[in-house]
Structure 1
Amino acid sequence: MIDADFSDIFAEYEALLAEVDAVFAKVKAVCPEQVRCEVACADCCHAPFDVTLVEALAINKRFNELHPKGDGRYRLTEAANRSDREHYRLKHKAWKAHKAGVPDEKIVEDFARERIRCALLGDDDKCSMYEARPVTCRLYGAPLNVNGQLRVCGKSGFAPGGKYPAVNIARLQQRLLDLSARAVERVGGKYDYLADMLVPVSMAMLSKYDEEFFGLKESKED
């Protein structure tokens, strides 16, 4: 990873994760019959989603700390490559549907029904980097307010049309994007758009967040 001091940004990110965990715990306490998350359920570990740059940096850092080399890193890297190819296939399929005039809401609904095994999901159906899991993983199972619509886990007990305490995803996403923007500004690279970049967990694991990535030196493509 690039030689930059992200310690304060990572500290704020960890504090945000603690807030998210507290919110999830509160929802579970209020709705114990509806929140049915349990060890090795792994339903959320097959839902395709993207993470912000600050989440990707944290995941990448932890992955390299836990698996600097060896068989464990090889197996996880191979799993990440498979997952990354599946994410690319789905996004290309969504892009083709958009070009064909399919309504965006239909595309999002179809995408949400797809299943991709997370590269970090072990053979025991437990996350191999559970403590470093991103915000989406931590909230799966609780009702979410996504663009004014209530989204719930299919395995939960939340009935359609019911009124439940819902987490406002847009606010959380903005806080993550703000932290990402500070990371990009801290580095001082030429690619400002990186602050808004969203990637799957598999790509976060595989990427090299170095000087070339942030635009501090010319890449081979340049």
Structure 2
Amino acid sequence: MQHYEKDGRLQHVMLSHQFSIKLMEELFDIADHVKGMTRKPNGIEFLKSLLSHKKAMLYFTQPSTRTFLSFLTACQMVGMDTGEVRDPSLSSEYKGESQEDGVRVFSSYFDLIIMRDPKPGFCEYMAYLLDNTGRSVPIMNGGSGKDQHPTQALLDLYTMHRSFQHKGGISKKRYAFVGDLLRGRAVRSSVMLLSQYKDVEMDFVAPS
């Protein structure tokens, strides 16, 4: 996954493969601290000062409510200004501009692009494209076609981490995934994260 890294750190968040148990545990610890800080006025103010000099673009060309609002809330929590594209018919794409050109332009306005698109592989493609044009900004995959949904999977694992922290942790458990698994990109990502843990069993239940 080195092509999604820069100077030994994550540059883009594209796939659940990028997250080792060690990295996830570090993120879970940070999330716990942030959760505690949001309960105190001075903690809230401190968080808002962290990225008040940065801007994020929410490029959500696939319908979304919960994912969009969770990212928007997260940006606001750390003080980031945000812009959004949710309906391509209201953007320059309606006049014939390609998605690629649109995102490249946005990369000069914003410090982070959070992307959700119905086309498989589009997020990864744009990360490669921006890297090769010399004006790369981090891209975060908020759901890519039927491929993956790594940030949802991280949230799922964090929920498991909190639920089982006094019950032996995530390892040595049996998990069931139920629903429309063919299009379950979050399931696909969660399975890849869970498979790193010791003695984990997984069952899959889906309509025929």
If the length of structure 2 is used for normalisation, what is the TM-score? 0.31
**Which has the larger share of strand?**
2
The answer to which structure, 1 or 2, has the higher relative contact order (CA under 8 A, 6+ apart) is 1
**Which has the larger share of helix?**
1
